[in-house]
Amino acid sequence: MIILGIETSCDETAVAILKRQDNRVQILSNIVATSLELQSKFGGVFPEQAAREQLRYIIPTLDEALAQAFPDTEASNRPKKINAIAITQGPGLIGSLLIGVETAKTLSLVWQKPLIPINHLIAHFYANWTNDQTPQFPALGLLVSGGHTDLVLFKDHYSYEYLGGTRDDAAGECFDKCARLLGLPYPGGPQISLRAKTGNPKAYRLPKPMYSTSDFDMSFSGLKTAVVNLVSELTQTGPLTDQQIDDLSASIEHTICQLLTHKTILALQKYPVSNLMVAGGVAANSTLRRMLEHEVNKFDPTIQIFIPPTKLCTDNGVSTASAGFFTPPLDNPLDLQADPNLSLMN
Ligand code: KG4
Ligand code: ZN
């Protein structure tokens, strides 16, 4: 079984081709075109511009993914090697999603291939299915991306219970907004992470909203507000020094990671599972990886933790195609509608 996965939910145009044989998933190609440079220039993602970039990149990215997966096959014969197409249906930016969805519908019709609709949030978790070892159910899932921060209990493929999540900003959004306050470029997560390496995580005491509630909900907007106030206080006598930026970065990163780790352990205490899956852009954060590994191991060393390789944490087509192996195709591909509000609760 060979699946071509297309992901265009935000500012990445991503296409990957995966082969599944004897329960092993092999990545034949993984192409990601990103308009990150543009977003960095403007300090964030501008929806209309992101959609225009999707349109610019979609066909070249498809072409490159096919060429890399099947280098010895003539270009016109490459689509024949594909068994199905998996496509991100949502959530995301409507303009960006539409480019991928309409392209996938057209390809499905022209190539005569089944079309598999994928929830992008679920897809993030399926980046964990591309190694030799794959998660076993029941498993706890922690999704930490730019738009979402959720704890989910997976009983089986596509059988899951939403446990809780952020009530306001997502963890990635908090990284991005705080980075902006420190004058660091977009996306802020990797920048804060870099500066944190030479900073003191205990230099500034930041609030941990909802840390002591017994539910699985989280909140990050109060943390951002505290950083606004702190920066305005520190800059009264002049711009932030390099050391202050490093220390603030380390303190912000440490606080976000503590919040995420604490709620994850709380969920593991209530729901005894032997596997934890982490996913989403913030899962690339090395402090979060270390803290989770340390605390989970302390809580129960038999729990196996799955975190995708760094480049599969952020948006990519591999996760989409990987989820496609476990998702039924549509009866009528032309019925598919992009859904910017798709969530883990429906
Ligand atoms: O999953 P993703 O690529 O896009 C969404 O679907 O939202 O996540 C992007 C988010 C951004 O907020 C970015 O700052 C964050 O992931 N991120 C990180 C790191 N790498 C990416 N945050 C913290 N540390 C990182 N190393
Ligand atoms: Zn994503």
Q: What is the pLDDT of residues 136-187, one digit of tens each?
A: 999 999 999 999 999 999 999 989 999 999 999 999 999 999 999 999 998 9
- Gap from CA of 337 to ligand 1 centroid (Å): 26
β pairing state of 159-165 and 115-119:
unpaired
Q: Which residues contact 201 (CB under 8 A, 6 or more apart)?
A: 250, 251, 253, 254
- CB–CB of 175/162 below 8 Å? no
- Gap from CA of 76 to ligand 2 centroid (Å): 32
Least confident of 6-20, 32-46, 217-231, 268-282: 32-46
**Residues in the ligand 1 pocket, defined by CB under 6 Å:** 10, 145-147, 172, 175-176, 187-190, 193, 280-282, 284-285, 314-315
- Gap from CA of 120 to ligand 2 centroid (Å): 6
Beta carbons within 10 angstroms of residue 225's beta carbon: 13
**pLDDT, averaged across the chain:** 95
β pairing state of 84-90 and 24-34:
unpaired
Q: Is pLDDT at 111 greater than 90 in this prediction?
A: yes
Please identify which residue in the block is written with the tokens 């803290």.
Answer: 291
**To test the ligand 1 pocket, which listed residue (89, 312, 314) has its Cβ within 8 A of the most ligand atoms?**
314
280 Cα nearest atom in ligand 1: 1
Residue nearest to atom 4 of ligand 1 (CA): 146
Residue nearest to atom 3 of ligand 1 (CA): 314
3-state secondary structure of 69: helix
What residues pair up with 29 in beta bridges, in sequence order? Answer: 17
Q: What is the pLDDT of residue 46?
A: 86
Average pLDDT over residues 250-269: 98
Q: Is pLDDT at 267 greater than 90 in this prediction?
A: yes
One-letter amino acid for residue 333 of the chain: P
Q: What is the pLDDT of residue 346?
A: 61
- Gap from CA of 27 to ligand 2 centroid (Å): 19
Banded pLDDT at 345 (limits 50, 70, 90): confident
314 Cα nearest atom in ligand 1: 3
Residue nearest to atom 13 of ligand 1 (CA): 189
Q: Is pLDDT at 36 greater than 90 in this prediction?
A: no
Average pLDDT over residues 116-130: 96
**To test the ligand 1 pocket, which listed residue (93, 191, 258, 282) has its Cβ within 8 A of the most ligand atoms?**
282
Q: What is the pLDDT of residue 34?
A: 82
- Gap from CA of 106 to ligand 1 centroid (Å): 31
Judge if the upstream peptide bond of residue 117 is cis by omega within 30 degrees of 0: no
Please name the residue ranges forming H helices in the chain. 36-42, 47-69, 94-111, 120-126, 171-181, 188-196, 221-234, 242-270, 286-299, 317-324
Ligand nearest the Cα of residue 88 is 2
